Amino acid sequence: MRDVEALGVRALLHRCDVAYDAAVHGMVNACERELGRLDVLVNAAGTTHFAAADDLEAITPEIWDRIFNVNVRGTFFAIRAAAPLLKRSGNGAVVNLASIAGLRPAAQVIPYAASKAAIVNMTMSFARILAPKVRVNAVAPGWLEGRWMETALGADYHRLMDRRADRTPLGRVATADDVAQTIVGLIADNDFVTGQTVVIDGGYSIVA
């Protein structure tokens, strides 16, 4: 927060559980009250449950509901609450965090993959509903280096990530910077793109 403000940018931190509509409205209201406007919404909140994809009994009703409440309901609530401010912006933009799992599920647990497929569908729906004042797109990262995949792959993390990199046309797996760069591009450099999901996987999905 201090690092951001040192650059001359005003920052606001607001704790919010996006699974709750009232909490999301409180967050958006705080943004309007403290900052006066909202030009961009990035829906990055997400959760999963780490288990073998074929271990169906590992997915309790509570786990299923939590994944969908955060990933799907949270995205819907955030866009709905932010829509009036984004429309007022004049060039509003939304970017949703989907996943390659929502396009071609493989090793992920079913509710996570299904929730990300819902994000892809909802991105297209909101793009139609909010046009022409607000653009709505999504990004779908493939395997992403870092803590999330470390938890998912456990002791096999380095071996499996290296194998994925070897099989990827661009020779590596995705990084957080790759995702951030694509999000910024959709916001700042693509005024005529809406309703799209951009895959960030170095070409793996075209050869696997």
CA distance 117 to 104: 9
CA distance 9 to 180: 18
What's the distance, Cα to Cα, between the start and end of the chain in Å?
41
Active site residue 112: yes
Give yes or no for a contact between 152 and 106, defined as CB atoms under 8 angstroms apart: no
CA distance 149 to 92: 32
Residue from 20, 112, 157, 204 carrying the catalytic annotation: 112
CA distance 191 to 87: 15
Catalytic residue numbers read: 112
